[in-house]
Amino acid sequence: MAKTQKHLNNHNLAIGDDGRLVQLQRLSHLLDNAIAIPGTKYRVGLDPFLGLLPGAGDVAGTAISAYIVIQAARWKLPAATLLRMLGNVGMDWLVGTLPILGDLFDVGWKSNARNVALLEDHLASPHESQAADRWVVLLVFASLGLLLALSISLAATVIWGLVQLMGSLG
């Protein structure tokens, strides 16, 4: 946490923003780096394990990732940064829909950590870029909503298929 506090001191944050940044950093850490793999320097988070829950795990992971991007957008990030964040979530979602392979991909991709790092980079030098136009922010929000809707639809399809399969076996 000392590293986080030191990092915060370098940011140009308004009162109250530092708590929001710390919240996003903690959430990202929990999802992507909370668990040390014994005997290595590598860490994993809860995100790959969420993906193991058929349907619901991907919905939860996408929703939390969307929350991080939405909170980051409140800092008026440039369009390129918001689109990169959306790309990170989109890649995580797309590959994450593949059983087992998607969960293994989550271990290495760490989209939430990537997105918080993009936010931190912006906060470290906000004067170097202009905030995204409203249409870009709306596009990002709409895309995140679409990913979430697709996740829910995919989850419902998987669950319905499992119910049908169990019904035919019994």
Summarize pLDDT for 33-88 with one digit per residue, the tens.
Answer: 999 999 999 999 999 898 888 778 888 888 999 999 999 988 888 888 999 999 99
As a whole number, the mean pLDDT across the chain is 84
Give the CA radius of gyration of the chain.
18
DSSP assignment of 137-154, as one string?
A: HHHHHHHHHHHHHHHHHH
- According to the model, what pLDDT value does residue 82 have? 92
What whole-number percentage of the chain has pLDDT above 90? Answer: 38
Percent helix, percent strand, percent coil in the chain, to nearest 5? 75, 0, 25
Summarize pLDDT for 115-136 with one digit per residue, the tens.
Answer: 999 999 998 886 666 667 778 8
- Taking the CA atoms of residue 116, residue 83, residue 67 and residue 10 in that order, the dihedral angle to the nearest 10 degrees is 30
More confident residue, 168 or 155: 168
Q: Left if phi > 0, otherwise alpha if psi is -120 to 50, otherwise beta: which for 19?
A: alpha
- According to the model, what pLDDT value does residue 118 have? 95
Q: Tell me how far apart the alpha carbons of residues 20 and 18 are, in angstroms, rounded to a whole number.
A: 5
Does the predicted model carry a pTM greater than 0.85?
no
Going by pLDDT thresholds of 50, 70 and 90, the confidence category of residue 6 is very low
Summarize pLDDT for 16-34 with one digit per residue, the tens.
Answer: 567 899 999 999 999 999 9
- According to the model, what pLDDT value does residue 127 have? 65
**The dihedral of CA 105, 122, 60, 47: what is its sign?**
positive
Nearest Cα neighbor of 146 from 31, 53, 62, 58 is 62
